[in-house]
Chains A and B, each alone.
Chain A
Amino acid sequence: MSDDADTSPEVMLRFYKMLYPFQSIFTWLNHEHTPTKLFTHREFAFTLQGDVYLRYHSFNTAEDLKKQVCTLNPTRFEIGPMYSAKPRDKKTVRSAAFSPQRRELVFDIDMTDYDGVRTCCSAADICSRCWGFIAAAVKVLQSILVEQFGFRHLLWVYSGRRGIHLWISDPEALDLTDDQRRALVSALTVVEGGKEMVKKVNVRTAKGLPPLLWDALDTLRSAFGPLVLDDQDCFSSQEGWETLLQLIPDRPIVEKLRNEWSQDPDRPSAQKWEELKDLIHKKKTDVQSRLKEALEDIVFQYTYPRIDAEVSKHRNHLLKAPFCVHPKTGRVCVPLDPNHIDRFDPRDVPTIGQLLRELNSSTSRGEVAGWEKTSLKPYVDLLDRHTMGILEEVRIMKRNNTTW
């Protein structure tokens, strides 16, 4: 399938010319059909062949953007904030008059941050098995951000290889200051500390687990068994179960299990977990509740979303545009439906080679856009439906403002 992973300049140029949904991207960023500052003052950055990086481009229309993309033929491009002036005029305006104003609240989750817990792959690799961690992350974040923070317009986008991006386009999300973004990220950050830190979850207060994480715990509890115990079998190796035992604050239990497991190391993780739970159940009530909390913290440590905080904290952070092509895999960064996230398999994502073949063999003619004739269509439709929700809300907001 070397054909599928082909991202040569010629192939890329054809993709931009024939397939990339510029109009859909424009409307999604712009919140209206006619260009607003949300588009015209928006920064675009281009990565060209040979890793040349061009920043502070901006465009008046979707057509302008398309023209420039086809001229530069970048390997990918990124989207930044709406500035107080047009980014392309940056050199001619006073620096005080050039600052980021509005920006989607964005998140980036990358599989490499799970290297300590996943056993199937490492580094840049990703398989359908490790996708389980991403799926758990999506469910948890979707629930907290919608139920608790009240956001309504969330777009999840596959990052093309080993992770997922989230773009939140609610008007209130766009208005968040860096301070508010920092506060939100810090509330959502649960797994902390590098390799040297054994216990990475420290979120409890004197009153127990904060309500913010109650639903997350329920979600992750049900994900933990199939994902961590059955599929990843995280406690099968000695290194794996040693890590687990280090998180149990009860010496007799730890010593008993270490002894048993080193004599019979092949017990599957699920069995080891059950043995651990059984021993805890035999403890006195007060000790038991402390140890149950330790188990909950282990669930968090293995499955709670690991967010790249820096991406979310600052308005001026750039993030790769949806529908770009990953240069290594040739896969398109397509939007995903969070309700079907469990069924998603990265290997099913259309590649640029596949799409161009579909386009060639398509028999449909007429005025339709190129992507409509390919398997890219359901993904663009997903974005368009999402955008309609934003447009509707902005329209109602505007109407209310004028009648008042």
Chain B
Amino acid sequence: MFRHSEIKNFKPQKRTLTTSESASTAGEYPYRLNFYERPPLFEVTVEDFEECAIDRLRILAEIESSYARNRTWEELKEVTGKLCRKYLHLNSNQTAIGHINSQEQRKRDHLGHFVLRLAFCRSEELRRRFVKAETTLFQVRYEEDDSLERIEFVNSLNFGWTKVTSADEKGSLEEELKALQVKQSTSSDNYVKVHWTKVPDLVAKRRVFLRGGFAYVSSQEISSIIFHEFESRLEKALEHTAKMLPRMDEDTRLVPILNNLSQGFLVGIPSEWSSAPSSGDEVRAEMIDDMAKKHFPLCMRNLHECLTRDRHLKHFGRLQYGLFLKVLGLSIDEAIHFWRKSFSNLTDDKFNKEYKYNIRHSYGLEGKRANYPAKSCQQILTTDKPSVGDCHGCPYRHFSPENLQSSLLTHYSSQGLDTTDLHEIMRTVKDGHYHVACTRVFEITHGRKGVKKGDGIGGGESVTHPNQYAARSIEIEKEQSQEGTAMAVVVD
């Protein structure tokens, strides 16, 4: 998550940013799909500015991780569609309940896209990744769009193509066109004629028929023109934005937001798990050891092991583990009980003086009484890099390959992980996709409970927060025991 201090600086001020002088007119978004050709022309609050961007970023980051996890296009579409419905839903004109509602959704979509352009135009690498993820998002939405509205949208784009209507023209080229069809289809199949320079990908693969500089593109391939156009226009726009950016940098309110956004893209989706567990089940100190073995991600298992072995944890380790346990559902009393028992080498006096205050502080009972959230994967990956003797951090990132492999086998072989899984995990780690590796370990270690490759922590989502990992693991166990009960009832 973003460092809260920075966000707080904005909140009380409620200042607004003007992205342009002119105001917007109603009904500005006739289509659900958008080529984002014009910048948003309305005033936004800093909060909206950030929120729209974060919601979009969650989706883009999941798209990236889908590629890293080699998901099929269908899987990617499903996962992305699910996230879109959650964070950035866009109604079609048909399904829009109220017209204003759909306009508002599209406005947020428009704004989020442009904020992220600012965040991701800064380096070649970021631009490349952003273009890929955005083009994919566009593709997903395009494919699930209402077919009539999609045609209207496509017609509005003016790509300089013409429909091949004359029966003569079609007839004389019939043989050639047939040789290119993806599926055997009837002569009623539609073609458009477009200058070959608009479809370089199809030309390079010899997938179109060319005559006199024009490519004959079958309706099945028209989408390829649109995606290529989306991609190349966005590439150009980002380069242009990059040149304009130095002026933006003077706005000190935006710089940290933009930096955080691009950072978030590099290490996974920012997610927040500051809420108390919904189940209401209390977690007691003596349950932790058992829960750790069954439900904790590797970072927390490692911390738990260090604590058990050394009877102590250094500052950042206590912070990372303590906040995790708090969010897991350990009450303040149970927490004090847990830590007291764990630091068994300390005298009561020393514990009370040096540690109790900090535990209460982290529960918001001392000092400025802030309710500190548990650290997300992004924070664990990027802040407070562990040094010698530290146990915190992300093992996938901070362990040597040898240590990581033996640690994985030590902790998870009883849950079904074996040496044959290591190759895939280590390859992902080597590519820097730590959250993908962690997600894969989740899938493997929950395989006996029916979790399949690609399921992630539910709905295909990747791990972005240790508490999300643990919560999902507990949930799966609960579902199964309930099924068991139900079965038992039936058998009775």
Q: Which of A176, A186, A208 contacts B204 (CB 8 A)?
A: A186
- Chain B 203-244 interface residues, beta-carbon cutoff 8 Å to A: 203-207, 209-214, 232
Q: Check B210–A212 contact: CB distance below 8 A.
A: yes
Q: Check A211–B179 contact: CB distance below 8 A.
A: yes
Q: List residues of chain B with CB within 8 A of the CB of A209.
A: 179
B479 within 8 A of A: no
- Chain B 88-112 interface residues, beta-carbon cutoff 8 Å to A: none
**Interface residues as binary, A165-186 with B (CB distance below 8 Å gives 1, 0 otherwise):** 0000000100010011011101
A147 within 8 A of B: yes
Q: Which of A29-37, A52-60, A148-156, A227-235 touches B?
A: A148-156
Given contacts A207-B180, A210-B179, contact A151 B213 (CB under 8 A): yes
Q: List residues of chain A with CB within 8 A of the CB of B206.
A: 187, 203, 210-213
Q: Check A211–B176 contact: CB distance below 8 A.
A: yes
Q: List residues of chain A with CB within 8 A of the CB of B232.
A: 179
Given contacts A176-B197, A183-B204, A210-B206, contact A147 B211 (CB under 8 A): yes
Distance between Cα atoms of A13 and B211 in the complex (Å): 46
Distance between Cα atoms of A187 and B210 in the complex (Å): 11
Q: List residues of chain B with CB within 8 A of the CB of A187.
A: 203-206
Q: Check B179–A150 contact: CB distance below 8 A.
A: no
Given contacts A180-B200, A187-B204, contact A149 B213 (CB under 8 A): yes
A403 to chain B, nearest CB (A): 20
Q: Check B204–A207 contact: CB distance below 8 A.
A: no
Q: Check B179–A180 contact: CB distance below 8 A.
A: no
Q: List residues of chain A with CB within 8 A of the CB of B201.
A: 183
Describe A's contact surface by its main secondary structure. helix
Distance between Cα atoms of A214 and B180 in the complex (Å): 13
Q: Check B179–A207 contact: CB distance below 8 A.
A: yes
Distance between Cα atoms of A267 and B200 in the complex (Å): 47
Q: Which of A147, A180, A211 contacts B197 (CB 8 A)?
A: A180
Closest to A190 in B: B206
Q: Check B209–A172 contact: CB distance below 8 A.
A: no
- Chain A 206-253 interface residues, beta-carbon cutoff 8 Å to B: 207-214
Describe B's contact surface by its main secondary structure. mixed
Distance between Cα atoms of A203 and B206 in the complex (Å): 9
Closest to A206 in B: B182
Distance between Cα atoms of A77 and B197 in the complex (Å): 31
B121 to chain A, nearest CB (A): 15
Distance between Cα atoms of A182 and B203 in the complex (Å): 10
Closest to A96 in B: B243
Closest to A150 in B: B213
Distance between Cα atoms of A341 and B80 in the complex (Å): 57
Q: List residues of chain A with CB within 8 A of the CB of B260.
A: none
Distance between Cα atoms of A176 and B232 in the complex (Å): 14
B196 within 8 A of A: yes
Q: Check B214–A150 contact: CB distance below 8 A.
A: yes
Distance between Cα atoms of A148 and B214 in the complex (Å): 8
B407 within 8 A of A: no
Query: How many Cβ-Cβ contacts under 8 Å join chain A to chain B?
Result: 59
B181 within 8 A of A: yes
Q: List residues of chain B with CB within 8 A of the CB of A211.
A: 176, 179-180, 206, 209-210
Q: Check A149–B196 contact: CB distance below 8 A.
A: yes
B254 to chain A, nearest CB (A): 25
B299 to chain A, nearest CB (A): 43
Q: List residues of chain A with CB within 8 A of the CB of B210.
A: 148-150, 211-212
Distance between Cα atoms of A302 and B453 in the complex (Å): 48
Q: List residues of chain A with CB within 8 A of the CB of B176.
A: 211, 214
Q: Which of B204, B209, B212 contacts A150 (CB 8 A)?
A: B212
Of listed B200, B201, B211, B212, residue having the most chain A CB within 10 A: B200
Of listed A147, A150, A176, A203, residue having the most chain B CB within 10 A: A150
Given contacts A149-B210, A151-B213, contact A183 B200 (CB under 8 A): yes
Distance between Cα atoms of A208 and B179 in the complex (Å): 7
Distance between Cα atoms of A148 and B303 in the complex (Å): 66
Q: Check B203–A183 contact: CB distance below 8 A.
A: yes
Q: Which of B200, B205, B211, B213 contacts A172 (CB 8 A)?
A: B213
Distance between Cα atoms of A209 and B179 in the complex (Å): 8
Q: List residues of chain A with CB within 8 A of the CB of B200.
A: 179-180, 182-184
Distance between Cα atoms of A183 and B200 in the complex (Å): 5
Distance between Cα atoms of A209 and B210 in the complex (Å): 14
Q: List residues of chain B with CB within 8 A of the CB of A151.
A: 213
B123 to chain A, nearest CB (A): 16
B10 to chain A, nearest CB (A): 34
- Chain B 158-180 interface residues, beta-carbon cutoff 8 Å to A: 176, 179-180
**Interface residues as binary, B176-197 with A (CB distance below 8 Å gives 1, 0 otherwise):** 1001110000000000000011
Of listed A172, A203, A212, residue having the most chain B CB within 10 A: A212
Distance between Cα atoms of A242 and B206 in the complex (Å): 31
Distance between Cα atoms of A320 and B320 in the complex (Å): 66
Closest to B184 in A: A207
Q: List residues of chain B with CB within 8 A of the CB of A208.
A: 179
Distance between Cα atoms of A183 and B224 in the complex (Å): 15
Q: List residues of chain A with CB within 8 A of the CB of B211.
A: 147-148, 150
Q: Check A182–B204 contact: CB distance below 8 A.
A: yes
Distance between Cα atoms of A180 and B204 in the complex (Å): 9
Q: Which of B181, B196, B205 contacts A207 (CB 8 A)?
A: B181
A128 to chain B, nearest CB (A): 33
Distance between Cα atoms of A187 and B207 in the complex (Å): 9
Closest to A203 in B: B206
Q: Which 10 A-B pairs have the closest CB atoms?
A: A150-B213, A183-B200, A210-B206, A148-B210, A183-B204, A211-B176, A186-B204, A150-B212, A183-B203, A211-B209
B residues engaging A (CB < 8 A)?
A: 176, 179-181, 196-197, 200-201, 203-207, 209-214, 232
A–B Cβ pairs within 8 angstroms, 10 of them: A148-B212, A149-B213, A150-B211, A150-B213, A172-B213, A183-B200, A187-B205, A208-B179, A210-B206, A211-B209
Given A179-B232, A208-B179; 6 other pairs, CB 8 A cutoff = A150-B212, A150-B214, A179-B200, A180-B197, A183-B201, A183-B204
